[in-house]
Amino acid sequence: MSLSQGRSYLAIPGPSAMPDRVLAAMHRPAPNIYEGALVTTTETIVAKLKRIAFSTRHVGIYIGNGHALWEAAISNLFSRGDKALSLATGQFGLNWARHAGAMGVAVETLDFGLKSPVDPARVEAALRADKSHEIKVVLLTHLDTATSVLNDVAAVRAAIDAAGHPALLAVDCIASLGCDEFRFDDWGVDVMVAASQKGLMVPPGVGFIWLSDKAVARSKTSDLRTPYWDWTQRIAPDYFYQYFAGTAPTHHLLGLAESLTMILDEEGIDHVWARHKALAAMVWAAFDAWGRGGDIALNIADPAHRGHSVTAARIGNGGADRLRSWLETEAGVTLGIGLGMAEPGTPEAADFLRVAHMGHVNAHMTLGVLATMEAGLTALDIPHGAGALDAAAAVCAAACAKG
């Protein structure tokens, strides 16, 4: 008998769970796109987008998903043949680099594998070796959603500076913004991209780019720019339509205004970060317990190198795929598939999954996911250690006691 009726939960790393308030804010006729409330709402959104990234500089908005924002960054930052240094810690970093290469950028990749973060010493060495400063931009993924590695952005900036290299630093925070701490100005970031459907709790369809003055200056001479992707008017429009190079994403803006109010003005960004940390710690505690009695393990061994919005893990003998499918059909919970962890089509590819704890997620949602996973492991006879739910509950209780 399936027990999946009731409210389903898509516990994948985007689209994330959305607050009903965000959906309700969108449930109305389209507003005037030439003047009036939408114009002021957009100005407020831009100011809040700067706040959420701790930036005092420039923000642009695009209609598009995360891939679109990768392309926005590349087209404004590079001329054909320019060189980029890509720091890869999983599928997402590799794909951003692939986009750059396809657009005519000469990409050098430092690949740190699927289980460890970027080593700033290797970045510094690569930049020191680039004596003629051919590398224009370093591409970094803050939280690689495929591996759940969290990279130290400030340490990469320090490595660039230590090498005395003028390269700009561009960071993909699509999976981390609004979940893990990020500080655009303090960490010396030049370009950061994010999208609506992850920590920002809005349906997929809009993306954002944050720019330093240096990044804006660089774009003036970039020959990969085309009129739609050019950020010049988006960050400083004379007319409202120029924010979006056309019709405004009306309903996304209405939803976003609500979610940014919830994150920044009601819960507070420090609490949002702390909540994601607590939920992640609950998931990690459960996996640690399961792993003590079975072929089950978190992908990233050191908790200091794990992101707090998604957890990548392995359950051997195809257990990951079987558990995901059981959860969806029997319990109404959808977990994330493994991405880039094994050759597609091989038996190993069925061993990886991801649990998201991203966005509008609270203790009962995460404990509920873990409890249904425990039920699934039992139902499927997948060997696993005992005490996972006790461990997760203890982490929850301790986090709440801290106030």
Ligand X SMILES: *Cc1c(COP(=O)(O)O)cnc(C)c1O
Residues in touch with ligand X (CB under 6 A): 13-14, 65-67, 92, 141, 145, 172, 174-175, 195, 204
Q: How far is the CB of 66 from ligand X (least distance, A)?
A: 2
The nearer residue to ligand X, 145 or 259, going by C-beta atoms, is 145
The nearer residue to ligand X, 137 or 367, going by C-beta atoms, is 137
The nearer residue to ligand X, 62 or 243, going by C-beta atoms, is 62
The nearer residue to ligand X, 205 or 319, going by C-beta atoms, is 205
Measured CA to CA, the distance from residue 380 to residue 160 in angstroms comes to 49
Q: How far is the CB of 218 from ligand X (least distance, A)?
A: 22
Q: How far is the CB of 70 from ligand X (least distance, A)?
A: 7
Q: How far is the CB of 52 from ligand X (least distance, A)?
A: 17
Q: How far is the CB of 142 from ligand X (least distance, A)?
A: 7
The nearer residue to ligand X, 31 or 204, going by C-beta atoms, is 204
Ligand-binding annotation for 354, yes or no, is: yes
Residue number closest to ligand X, CB atom? 66
Residues annotated in a binding site: 354
Residues annotated in a binding site for substrate: 354
